[in-house]
Structure 1
Amino acid sequence: MLCIYNLQLTQTHHFFHSKKGVPFADYQGICNWLTRLVQIENGKQLTCNRNFIAPLCELCCASSLQIGSLMHAFDSVKSALRVLEESVALNCEEETTKSCIQYLEAVPWDDSEEEEIVKVASRLGPIAMPIVARISPVDLTATRNVFLSALRFATSSPGGEGSGLPFGDELRTSAQEQIEYMLGEDEETPLVTADDEVRSVARAGLAQIFSSFQTIISCSLSETTETEALHIVSDLVWMCNVLPKMDMMKDFVVRWTEASIVEIIEDNRFESIVWGLKVKVIEVTVKVLEAVGYGTVILQPTLRVQLLRTWLPYIRKLKPILDAKAEQDPSFGHRMDEDLCQNIEGAIVSLILALPSNDQGEILAGWMSGEQVKFPDLSEAFEVWCYRTKSAKRRLVEGGLDRVGNGNGRIETTEMRDMTMIPSAMVLIADTDRKESLAVKGSRK
């Protein structure tokens, strides 16, 4: 059977080469003709493998054309790939293979074609490498330069570069999305994010966004300026997603902690307006609280206390106002939903339990003395604090940690003072204390 294939293919190849430049039979006719050539062997009827015949027909047709006409004869990426594979397998003329490669290298591909090209190129080896040049990895310098350009544009002011273009905002949004994608975990990401210029551009962009936000909310907000402010808050939320991947979230947290944002939005001018903006500001604040409370960002205890004392009262004040407005007007669309409330409570509980005991007590006392004890629910932090208070001296004595006094009536070692500066370590202790306090409560029952 193989001999018949080889003989007839040789004859067919010779026939087409003798007719170069002359129109040949249609594709289906060639398939039928080659099929009939191999029907009988030893008196038995055979079924021809059309998956094998079809690319050979295409190859024969391709070989009959002049090189200049060959690239224009392909009707699809798929047909060019089939001719290429058979051309390489049968050691056909170099010009045929080269024309296939040139065609595939130049034409656009859809996703499915790209996947097929990658598979074929991997089978053919180095000869097919020019085809996949467009999807080959770029060097680190090129990656860095593209990332820098995208970062500058993504953090530019909405009223700055590109704002005069009808697609300016869409381009900024696209740049932000692609930066998040580029920061996905791979081998080159740490090399790019550790670059001094990249970090400098990120800090400059963060400073610009903060400056724009503080400037716009310091003015009398109209409907137009509120929309602009919401766009800037969206940029802040985006920065909260990007900076942790660059190990730069601390820059954001420090700015948010030190900024006088609460004082501005609590101004009498905004008492009964910009509810959407206020909710968005809370969403940003939650990301800051989570970063500090869960140990992603390490801050001194004084800054952590300042963060809580600034934002906890405002959150407690805003929540019931929004709920009341929603009850009065079902169409009122600005609320702190259940997921947001749970995130707030979890972050604040972790943040409180990582503070020195006296600071914990002061914050919890303020929480219980307020009118809005229901939200956020800090009862878990209160239970752990009570358990720690009752067992503190015993645990310190048993652990041999009662040697150093801090001058304020508290027994504290140098190691303990250091640990109050490490939220992640204290959160682990808090988890243990929670379990122990729950066990104590269970035994009481």
Structure 2
Amino acid sequence: MDETKSYKLGDRITSDIIVRLRNKEGRPEVFHSHSVVLKKNSKYFADRLSHPNPSTCIAVQCSDSDYEYHVAFLRRLYLPVDSLLDSWDSVQSAVGVLLVAAAFCCEEITQSCIQYLEAVPWEDKEEEEIIKAVSKLGPIAMPILARIQPVDLSATRNVFISAIRFATSTGRPCPPFGDELKTSAQEQVEYMLGDDEDTALVTADDEVKSEIRIGLSKICFSFEEDLSSLLLESDLSCEAAENKIMQSLSDLEWMCTILPKIDMMKDFVANWVDTSVNVLRVVEDKKLDSVMWGLKFKLIEVTTKVLEAVGYGNVIFPAPGRVLLLKTWLPYVRKIKPLLDSVGSEEMGYPYKMGEDLCQSIEGALVSLILALPSNDQADILADWMNTEQVRYPDLSEAFEVWCYRTKSAKRRLVEGVDRVDNATVSL
């Protein structure tokens, strides 16, 4: 029979040792204890009490912040080992007592804390505290961190590829969650790829890129199919028809977010250039003249991302493709802005009005895109721009000024070159 079971912390009658907790707040400091319990459960106390003439009072220094953890530790010294695990009621308390138990070399309480913390869920703030505590304890507490240890590359890639498949799925939403699971998958794919301040969890190897290309193809096919079906709809004011096509377009916009992070935006640009004519053929059909403003606005936003990627040199694309991109979308931008402005002026809280930031982004990308074209192509585009009624937007005057300067400089260089040739001939 375990003789320590009959003892209770604070029992003055049977106590033969006092533990004094020194703190600055004047809390109760004296705990009537039993040397047999202390020596059995703590190597620290066993060493202190092993002297020939041990003191009957052991002073322990503690701070105000960990006073309660020291008290909790002393109380658990009196619990049976098989009751320790059930004694914990919070992560914070277990972390605090863990540090105290490790300092006092109490293996049973330390292991109980570790087992509890390893099994229960943590809040974000608690996780930071746990990581700090484990860093002080070393290998003994490493099992606690098993859930947040780096995963091997193969397992990470498998999770990422599964998430990509879910994020690019084009079937019906999964009841009862609707599109929430798909949206969550997209968010996590974006997070796993990381950005400037984050560490990417996956590397875009051939297998990952192949899976992303398949996903992009599925989304593009779904978008084109949904878009073409609009002209077959009997009621284009039906909310379901617009929601379906808007979901496909939102998926494409999401692809524009993740593809630059893995140097695959060129795949999107190539697809967008190839399909642009067919997209606008549907969107500019008479059946859609006064409906689907959300679709028309979202097309502008997605196209802006493409224009910026190509215009600022993030995607290197052949000149004929850049000319086609400009000649396809510049007239649409020029046409749609006043229409959106007009509808917006008639409706309070209209969500599809092109804001100043979007307009400036489009203009900046267009100017950069134009100025990177061969001069004759620039001339064609600028002449067309000045011959339209909507010359105020987009404002391409900066591109026009640069084109004029370059053209005049080119003419001057040509004349100077001819003069040098003539003079060389005469001197001979």
TM score, norm. by length of structure 2: 0.80
The correspondence for 2:333, drawn from 304, 315, 318, is 315
Counterparts of 2:340 and 2:254, CA distance in 1:
25
1:328-343 equivalences in 2 (<5 Å)? 328-330=346-348, 332-343=350-361
Aligned length: 373
* Change beyond 3 A, Cα 1:79–1:171: same
Distance 2:417 2:175 in 1: 67
Match of 1:136 among 120, 143, 149: 149
1:57 aligned to 71, 88, 100, which one? 71
State the secondary structure of the residue aligned to 2:393: coil
Could you say which residue in structure 1 is the equivalent of 2:401?
383
8 Å Cα contact 2:192/2:201 also seen in 1: no
Query: Do the aligned partners of residues 189 and 48 (structure 1) sit closer, same or farther apart at CA in structure 2, a change above 3 Å counting?
Result: closer
Output the amino acid matched with 1:339.
D
SS at match of 2:179: helix
Amino acid in structure 2 at the alignment position of 1:380: E
CA-to-aligned-CA distance 1:135-166 (integer Å, 9 cap, x gap): 1111111111110011000000142xxx2411
Q: Does structure 2 retain, via aligned residues, the 8 Å contact 1:294–1:350?
A: yes
Alignment of 1:20 with 2:5, yes or no, is yes
Cα gap change, 1:59/1:164 in structure 2, threshold over 3 Å: closer, same or farther?
closer
Q: CA deviation at 1:21?
A: 6.5
Return the offset for 1:88. Answer: 1.6
1:98 corresponds, among 111, 135, 139, to: 111
Q: Distance in 1 between matches of 2:127 and 2:378?
A: 59
CA distance in 2, matches of 1:312, 1:34: 80
Matches within 5 A, 1:100-249: 100-159=113-172, 163-185=173-195, 189=200, 192-193=203-204, 195-219=205-229, 220=233, 221=236, 222-249=238-265
Task: State the one-letter code of the partner of 1:223.
Answer: E
Contact kept in structure 1, 2:192 and 2:202, CA below 8 Å: no
What is the CA distance between 1:30 and its match in structure 2? 9.6
Q: Which residue does the alignment assign to 1:13?
A: none
CA displacement at 1:324 relative to structure 2: 2.1
Question: C-alpha separation between the residues in 2 aligned to 1:21 and 1:291?
Answer: 77
User: Partners of 1:246 and 1:234 in 2: how far apart?
Assistant: 20
Contact 1:213/1:232, CA 8 A, preserved across alignment: yes
Q: Secondary structure at the match of 2:176?
A: coil
Following TM superposition, by how much is the alpha carbon of 1:82 offset from its aligned partner in structure 2, in angstroms? 2.4
Rounded to whole Å, the distance in 1 between the matches of 2:380 and 2:137 is 72
Q: Displacement of 1:343 after TM fit?
A: 0.8
* Structure 2, unpaired ranges of 5+: 12-18, 22-26, 33-60, 422-428
Gaps of 5+ in 1: 1-16, 38-46, 404-445
> Which has the larger share of helix?
1
Work out whether 1:278 is the aligned partner of 2:296.
yes
User: What code does the residue aligned with 1:276 have?
Assistant: G
Equivalent AA in structure 1 for residue 364 of structure 2: G
Kindly provide the amino acid, as one letter, of the partner of residue 335 in structure 2: K
Maintained 8 Å contact 1:84/1:97: yes
Q: Tell me by how many angstroms 1:77 deviates.
A: 1.8
Which amino acid in the other structure matches residue 88 of structure 1?
A: A
Could you tell me the percent identity over the aligned residues? 56
Alignment correspondent of 1:408: none
Which position in structure 1 is the counterpart of 2:323? 305
User: Residues 21 and 65 of structure 1 are in contact (CA less than 8 Å); yes or no, is this contact kept in structure 2?
Assistant: no
How far has the Cα of 1:63 moved from its partner?
2.0
Cα 1:85/1:256, change in 2 over 3 Å: same
Instruction: Pick one of 73, 77, 87 that aligns with 2:91.
Output: 77
How far does residue 266 in structure 1 lie from its aligned partner after superposition? 0.9
Which of 274, 296, 309 does residue 291 from structure 1 map onto? 309
Displacement of 1:128 after TM fit? 1.0
Quote the residue 1:351 is aligned against: 369
Deviation of residue 96 (structure 1)? 2.3
CA contact (8 A) 1:151 1:175 kept: yes
Match of 1:255 in 2: 271
SS of corresponding position for 1:373: coil
CA change 1:346–1:67 in 2 (3 A) is same
Per the alignment, do residues 385 and 79 of structure 1 end up closer, same or farther by CA in structure 2, a change over 3 Å counting? same
- Distance in 2 (CA, whole Å) between partners of 1:90 and 1:398 is 91
Per-residue deviation at 1:216?
1.2
Q: What amino acid is aligned across from residue 57 of structure 1 in structure 2?
A: V
Partners of 1:364 and 1:190 lie apart in 2 by 46
Find the residue that maps to 1:20 and give its secondary structure.
helix
Task: Give the residue type in structure 2 aligned to 1:107.
Answer: V
What SS class does the counterpart of residue 131 from structure 2 fall into?
helix
Shift of 1:100: 1.4
Instruction: Say if 1:377 and 1:201 are closer, same or farther in 2 by CA, change over 3 A.
Output: same
The TM-score normalised by the length of structure 1 is: 0.77
**Deviation of the 1:104 alpha carbon:** 1.1
Q: Distance between the aligned counterparts of 1:106 and 1:256, measured in 2?
A: 49
C-alpha distance in 2, partners of 1:52/1:322?
A: 63
Deviation at 1:395, TM superposition (A): 5.1
